[in-house]
Structure 1
Amino acid sequence: MATKRKDKSRVVLKTGEVQRKDGTYQFSWQDSQMKRRFVYARTLDDLREKEKRIQKDKCDGIKTEARYTTIDKLFDLWANMKRGLKNNTFENYKYMYNTFVRPVIGSKRISTLKKSDIKKYYNYLVDERNLKPSTIDNIHTVLHQVLQIAVDDDFIRNNPSDNVLRELKKAHCFQSEKRRALTKPEQELFLNFLKTHPVYEHWYPVFAVMIGTGLRVGEVTGLRWCDIDMESGMIDVNHTLVYYDHRTEGSKSGCYFNVNTTKTPASMRQVPMLGFVKEAFEHEKQKQEDLGLHCEVTIDGYTDFIFINRFGQAQHQATLNKAIRRIIRDCNDEQFLHSDEPDVLLPHFSCHSLRHTFTTRMCEAGVNIKVIQDALGHSDISTTLNIYADVTKEMKAEEFKGLDSYFKV
């Protein structure tokens, strides 16, 4: 009969249990890969609590490797498996992880990761790093997907990042910043200033096209002359131009352009030209002929871009937004020269605000919601409806302002 092993206190030890020379305890077992694993504890009671958790993990199908797997290792697995993302989006996700997650909690083992750890980490991003809600959204998108792999592969039972972002937004009273469209007077001031100002008139065509089509900035800058049909008055949106920092191994590093597919399949569309949009294209063509300008760049086989700079290179969003900031400054300065209290001033806005402006004018004109969705290239009509609801709310408030006199007795 085998002799039962005991510790120094004469307590019988179970299979796998050992008391070490320093008085601490060790438990060993084989995982599903037949690899021997070990856990340690100062007391036998603590060791047996750990054994219970190990046994529960076995019963629930949780893999032993989870005890040794870090968030960084899971991210590397996620990055190797991730497919279906545009390269610029993928590069942005990797940048977010490597900049904000890896240095802070990347080395943490997922087996010890709790919901409170994720909450504490997100609070750190808000309180100490002073990150904007949109940046934390991007970080959460990556981190949640990485931790979901751990759930799917039976490393952990639940995703500890579930609902944490929603709770964080409530706790910090985050308000999603709604993009403001230009009002009709602001739009008229903006376009008239561009038309008549000798320094900024060359910007009129590109911004007029943005306001009159609702195209995304990458769709506008990616337009080629062969994508527009002046006779039928149609614009064929079939690709987008992106400018970003390339970090992928095997590709040329640095910031440069690529041609991508449209944001979603619904973004592949044809948009009719309004009269002033057609005139803007004609104005751009005439200007380039007068100056002897022509496209000097080929990007992923695409060339003959409509909107180019003075060197014949493609325009990109940063340049356009910088131009808008200068236009706002000088336009408002000019308004103050004419009056101490101008009736209209240009607000702060960006290229994407012009897309929102187009949508607002469509809603104000009573255009069918499905037509608006198709023109904007929204894959989900709820996106269009949200904008429509905001616009109609503003219109209702404006209409009610004049009703008071009608109800007075």
Structure 2
Amino acid sequence: MLVHTQRRGIDVDGYSPIALKPVRAIPKTLTSNEVARVRAACQRARERFWVTLLDQTGLRRGEALGLRHEDLRLRAGEVHVVPREFNVNEAQVKGLKARTVPIGPAVLDSYADYMEIEYSTLDSDYVFVNLFGSSASYGAPMTRDNVKDITSRLRRRSGVAHYSSHVLRHTYATRLLRAKVPVEVVSELLGHNSVQTTWDIYGHLTMEDHRRTLVQAGVLAGVN
């Protein structure tokens, strides 16, 4: 009320305006059906591996673009996110924070398909490279613009208009938290600077769970 009156030009002695913290938008996510539709819309093994990797690890776009084959520890079932001073495609690890994320059979299988079907004998350290289009760019590391093109194609083919690499990251985080994975673990897997960052982005999930529990218990039932 005080802030409202001051905004309207009403002078209130002895008080200063209160700066309200901006409300963070609830992150968009994909349902399991939408993820399946996006994956089914992938016509190339590279696209399928991209979608599967980000859906199963929550990697940021820049982190995935900077991946080297040596970062995929297949026997250990891990992907290492490694900050590097120079990537020719300008890919970056946010905050230059290294981390390790577990990967399962879905990622391993789609990587194997990508290597066998499309990557073949190409000699490159980078995992995601240009394999289609002009010969001049063949074998060069993929860039953000390449990812934007893939995103547009997959949105059109799947009919999932809000699909993006970052939405896959939000979907991964939401899935873990819904499965009751401790927020400290989720924060570490996402590469957040602090657990508070994770709470700021995904704290609404806890409130939704509380509300659902109260509704099921009849506490929030309408008054007759």
- TM above 0.5, yes or no, is yes
Segments of 5+ residues of structure 1 without an aligned counterpart are 1-165, 244-255, 296-303, 333-345
Alpha-carbon distance between aligned partners in 2 of 1:320 and 1:289, rounded to the nearest angstrom: 17
User: Which of the numbers 181, 184, 204 marks the counterpart of 1:370?
Assistant: 184
**CA distance 1:281–1:183, shift in 2 (3 Å):** same
Determine the structure 2 residue equivalent to 1:325.
152
Tell me what 1:190 maps to: 38
Cα distance in 1 for partners of 2:217, 2:31 equals 21
2:95 matched to 1:264?
yes
Deviations 1:308-358 (A, max 9, x none): 1111111122321231222121222xxxxxxxxxxxxx2323211111111
Q: Judging changes above 3 Å, is the alpha-carbon distance between structure 1 residues 286 and 394 closer, same or farther for their aligned structure 2 residues?
A: farther
Contact 1:205 1:280 in 2 (8 A): yes
SS in 2 for 1:236: strand
| Residues 403 and 315 (structure 1), Cα distance of their counterparts in 2 relative to 1, 3 Å cut | farther
Name the CA distance, whole Å, in 2 between partners of 1:229 and 1:221. Answer: 17
CA distance in 1, matches of 2:168, 2:191: 15
Secondary structure at the counterpart of residue 29 of structure 2: coil
Q: Residue in 1 aligned with 2:7?
A: none
Contact between 2:46 and 2:128, CA under 8 Å: does it hold in 1? no
Give, in angstroms, the shift of residue 386 of structure 1: 2.2
Which residue of structure 2 aligns with residue 305 of structure 1?
A: 126
* Equivalent residue in structure 1 for 2:112, among 282, 295, 310: 282
> Structure 2 matches for 1:317-356, cutoff 5 A?
317-332=144-159, 346-356=160-170
Q: Is the contact between residue 57 and residue 169 of structure 2 (CA under 8 Å) also seen in structure 1?
A: yes
Distance 1:293 1:228, change over 3 A: same
- CA gap of 1:364–1:380, structure 2 versus 1, over 3 A, is same
Q: Any idea what the Cα deviations from partners look like across 1:105-127, whole Å, max 9, x if unmatched?
A: xxxxxxxxxxxxxxxxxxxxxxx
Shift of 1:240: 5.7
Q: CA deviation at 1:380?
A: 1.5
- 8 Å CA contact 1:241, 1:259 repeated in 2: no
Please, what TM-score do these two structures have when normalized by structure 2? 0.74
Q: Give the Cα–Cα distance (whole angstroms) in 2 for the partners of residues 259 and 328 of structure 1.
A: 23
- Give the aligned CA root-mean-square deviation in angstroms: 3.1
Distance verdict in 2 for CA 1:398–1:181, change over 3 Å:
farther
- Provide the secondary structure at the position in 1 that maps to 2:158: helix
CA distance in 1, matches of 2:203, 2:32: 18
Give the Cα separation in 1 of the matches to 2:85 and 2:167. Answer: 19
Distance 2:203 2:108 in 1: 30
Matched, 1:232 2:76: yes
Q: Distance in 2 between matches of 1:241 and 1:189?
A: 37
- Report 1:120-139 matches (<5 A): none
1:212 aligned onto 2:56? yes
Quote the sequence identity (%).
Answer: 25
Deviation of 1:239 (Å): 1.7
Superposed CA deviations along residues 200-232 of structure 1, whole A, max 9, x for unmatched, are: 453000111011111111111111111111111
C-alpha deviations, 1:7-30, integer Å up to 9, x for none? Answer: xxxxxxxxxxxxxxxxxxxxxxxx
For residue 27 of structure 1, what is the aligned residue in structure 2?
Answer: none
Unaligned ranges ≥5, structure 2: 1-17, 132-137
User: Structure 1 residue 403: deviation in Å?
Assistant: 6.6
Which of the pair is proportionally richer in strand?
1
Deviation at 1:188, TM superposition (A): 2.3
Query: Which amino acid is 1:263 matched to?
Result: K
Judging changes above 3 Å, is the alpha-carbon distance between structure 1 residues 286 and 381 closer, same or farther for their aligned structure 2 residues?
Answer: same
The match for 1:144 is none
Asked whether the equivalents of residues 53 and 107 of structure 2 are also in contact (C-alpha less than 8 Å), the reply is yes
Equivalent positions of 1:2-151 (< 5 A) are none
Greater relative CO (CA pairs within 8 A, separation 6+): 2
* CA spacing shift, 1:241–1:307, aligned 2, 3 Å: farther
Judged with a 3 Å threshold, the aligned counterparts in structure 2 of structure 1 residues 175 and 233 are, in CA distance, closer, same or farther, namely same
CA contact 2:49–2:114 (8 Å) conserved in 1: yes
Larger Cα-atom Rg? 1
* Aligned counterpart in structure 2 of residue 315 of structure 1, from 124, 142, 148: 142
> In the alignment, is the contact (CA less than 8 A) between 1:288 and 1:294 conserved in 2?
no
Find the residue that maps to 2:203 and give its secondary structure. helix
Task: Give the secondary structure class of the aligned counterpart of 2:41.
Answer: helix
- The alignment's TM-score, normalised by the length of structure 1, stands at 0.43
CA distance in 2, matches of 1:242, 1:187: 32
Counterpart CA distance in 2 for 1:284 and 1:274 is: 16
